[in-house]
Amino acid sequence: MAEVADGTVVDGRYHIRGRIGSGGMADVYLADDTHLGREVALKMLHRRFARDQQFVERFRREASAAAGLQHPNVVSVYDRGEHDGTYYIAMENLPGRTLRDLLRQEAPLSQERAIHFGIQILNAAGFAHRRGVIHRDFKPHNVIVAPDDSLKVTDFGIARAGASEMTETGSIMGTAQYLSPEQAQGQPVDARSDLYSIGIMLYEMLTGRVPFTGDSAVSIALKHVNELPQPLRELRPDIHPALEGAVMRALSKDPAHRYQSAEEFIAALEEARVVIRSGGAGGHTHDWAPVPPVVPPPVDEERRRRWPWATIVLLLLLGGALLAFLLTRPDQVKVPNEVGKQADTAALDLGHAGLRPRIKRVKSDKQIGLVVAQDPPAGRKIEKSSTVTLSVSSGPGFTSVPDVTNKPVAKAIRLLKKRRLFANTSFENSDTVAKGLVISTDPVALSQVLVGSRVALVVSSGPQLLPVPNVVGKKKPVAEALLTDASFKVTTLEQSSDMPKGEVVSQTPAAGVSVAKGSRVTITVSKGPQKVKVPDVKGQKQSDAQKTLTGAGFSVKVVKSDTCDSTVDGKVIDQSPAAGTKAKKGSAVTITVGHKTSSGPTGPCGP
């Protein structure tokens, strides 16, 4: 993609200050998060990747997984999004330099510094592996080294998204130097592939070079599959055999022969560090046996008279041998008590006592790295330079997180207990998961975790309850907008009413009632007053006419009209409105009723 100009605001939030790096798949910019007021590193994908929908989908999925990795040795992912036809990740911006830059300037590193770096990288890898995330692209370029030599690993997520891209010559040549044999062959990979790549990084830290180089990514990949790396001690004789063994095991071609977890690899590096610090030689012992006493030759009968002298000589010889034994036997030392101490402290204690430590990793409920037993036991006297075996806790072992999503919380807790795991529960509203069922877990299902770990359960408290706003008396469009903005669905009915046309007459549920977010609220809107036909009451008696009109929903107004015609006396002779016309229900109908008198409207009645 074209370079993003300084001053550009990405996605309405990230103000670009300048480009700070570039790679095969993305450019990295220093930016200010204008929403949260913090500095971030913004990784912008090249456009050719943004046009690949499969790549974009992998990128989104893996970036989401990476955002959940909160660990001291993992660069935090804050946000992801889309801008100007491509995609970005907003990450923690760190002071320091990449491990690649450090190795260019300072390699080879000391054994202890390489171990220190390796353990931090493996801590990040192990944390991600237990949450089901494989990095797939461990290399010095993806490790940030702070001034205090603390490390953070970056690019969890984007590495998998770009796993199929093996056509670049720049960045991919660099990547090929750290590929595992199974990656080179296009086979499925798991956590052990990452451990191989970290082994390559340690090899480079210790020697200043990678084990395999070539003219192309393909030639390097083939060497990973077919060739053995040169032993470390041929390149650097001062490397301790324990450290060489730890690194070379990680570089096994067959994943089954490597460490099976990051924790195993860490344990081997820690053991190597212990023996390096104590000056030990890997636990060798030396046997010593005294010279047997000299047996005098047989004495013949003729010389028996001289036996006292022979006896004296023999005693002198035996005494000399005994003195030689006492003078030359190795010093004896009392074994100190190291149980309950950290392994490196215990190893130093033994070294100061003139003994050699040997580390044996054992599963235990005790803290990782703690000495839980020793052989020989404390207090026993043994020869100086003898080996003392320290049984060091590697923790209680690992178990997988069961899949408890969409299960009742009580059942989920029982399933976790069966795996010797504990639950931390929290609740949140959900429109899709029923109340009381588990929405999600952290770590996710099938992740490998230490026995005794806590698993966070997010449990549904059902849909969010919201109060229904009062919309009675409001115009229909206003009422519908208020309800929609409050996250409710609206059903509208109409009916005649004395209220003005278009106003809400009633609502269900009533105003103020709390119901689930997304529930349906029914409003009834006025069509205005109802109009009905005026019945024909002409010729009816006044009382009958009044009953007819009130029964039809009208009020009645009576007007008397004098008449000489006795046949219409007390009967309706006129009405207004006229029969058959429509009038508002409840309105008045005026009826004119005949009234017989002696004189009509025009004068006296007939004779």
Same domain, 439 and 495: no
Same domain, 243 and 260: yes
Return all residues near 105 (Cβ < 8 A) that are at least 6 apart. none
Residue 285 lies in a domain: no
Mean pLDDT of 359-368: 79
Mean pLDDT of 308-333: 59
Mean pLDDT of 249-278: 92
Same domain, 491 and 402: no
Give dist(CA 400, CA 397) in Å, integer. 11
- Reported as a single tens digit per residue, the pLDDT across 60-84 is 766 776 777 888 999 988 888 888 8
More confident residue, 259 or 369: 259
Residue 250 has pLDDT above 60, yes or no: yes
Same domain, 261 and 204: yes
Give dist(CA 131, CA 481) in Å, integer. 44
Same domain, 130 and 254: yes
Residue 417 lies in a domain: yes
pLDDT score of 162 = 40
- Please provide residue 575's backbone torsions phi and psi, each rounded to the nearest 5 degrees: -145, 155
Residue 3 lies in a domain: no
Mean pLDDT of 114-131: 94
Residue 378 lies in a domain: yes
pLDDT score of 497 = 84
- Reported as a single tens digit per residue, the pLDDT across 385-412 is 899 999 988 777 778 899 999 999 999 9
More confident residue, 522 or 317: 522
Give dist(CA 232, CA 248) in Å, integer. 8
Choosing from 27, 79, 137, 155, which is the catalytic residue? 137
Same domain, 206 and 263: yes
Residue 596 lies in a domain: yes
pLDDT score of 448 = 75
Residue 478: which of 433, 523, 511, 446 has the closest Cα?
Answer: 523
Final residue in a domain of this structure, among 374, 393, 412: 393
Give dist(CA 44, CA 22) in Å, integer. 9
Residue 285 has pLDDT above 60, yes or no: no
pLDDT score of 314 = 53
Same domain, 149 and 262: yes
- Reported as a single tens digit per residue, the pLDDT across 595-604 is 998 765 555 6
Cα(first)–Cα(last) distance of the chain, in Å?
117
- Reported as a single tens digit per residue, the pLDDT across 89-111 is 898 888 889 999 999 999 999 99
Domain extent at residue 320: 311-393
Residue 142 lies in a domain: yes
Same domain, 187 and 273: yes
Predicted TM-score (pTM) of this structure: 0.50
For strand 438-442 and strand 454-460, is the pairing parallel, antiparallel, or unpaired? antiparallel
pLDDT score of 584 = 85
Does residue 190 carry a catalytic annotation? no
Between 48-52, 239-243, 278-282, 555-559, the lowest mean confidence (pLDDT) is in 278-282
Between 44-48, 412-416, 511-515, the lowest mean confidence (pLDDT) is in 44-48
CB atoms near residue 335 (< 10 Å): 19
- Reported as a single tens digit per residue, the pLDDT across 130-186 is 988 888 889 999 999 999 999 999 887 554 444 444 333 333 444 789 999 998 887
Task: Residue 53: give its domain's CATH number.
Answer: 3.30.200.20
More confident residue, 25 or 214: 214
Cis peptide before 509 (omega within 30 of 0): yes
Give dist(CA 421, CA 400) in Å, integer. 9
Residue 62 lies in a domain: yes
Residue 319 has pLDDT above 90, yes or no: no
CB atoms near residue 94 (< 10 Å): 17
Final residue in a domain of this structure, among 359, 376, 393: 393
Q: Secondary structure of the chain: what % helix, strand, coil (to 5)?
A: 30, 30, 40
pLDDT score of 209 = 96
Question: Is the separation of the CB atoms in 134 and 189 below 8 Å?
Answer: yes
pLDDT score of 282 = 40
Computed over every residue of the chain, the mean pLDDT equals: 84
Give dist(CA 136, CA 166) in Å, integer. 13
Mean pLDDT of 196-222: 94
Same domain, 266 and 117: yes
Mean pLDDT of 586-603: 81
Q: Which structure tokens are listed for 400?
A: 């997988």
Residue 326 has pLDDT above 80, yes or no: no
Mean pLDDT of 544-562: 93
Element (H, E) at 414: helix 409-418
Same domain, 114 and 251: yes
Instruction: For residue 451, list its beta bridge partners.
Output: none
Task: Residue 375: give its domain's CATH number.
Answer: 3.30.10.20
pLDDT score of 155 = 81
pLDDT score of 167 = 34
Residue 383: which of 306, 331, 347, 420 has the closest Cα?
Answer: 331
- Quote the percentage of the chain above a pLDDT of 90: 51
Final residue in a domain of this structure, among 408, 442, 460: 460
Same domain, 179 and 249: yes
Question: Is the separation of the CB atoms in 428 and 439 below 8 Å?
Answer: yes
Same domain, 271 and 221: yes
Instruction: For residue 90, list its beta bridge partners.
Output: 42, 79
pLDDT score of 560 = 94
Q: Which structure tokens are listed for 405?
A: 């999503």
SS3 221: helix
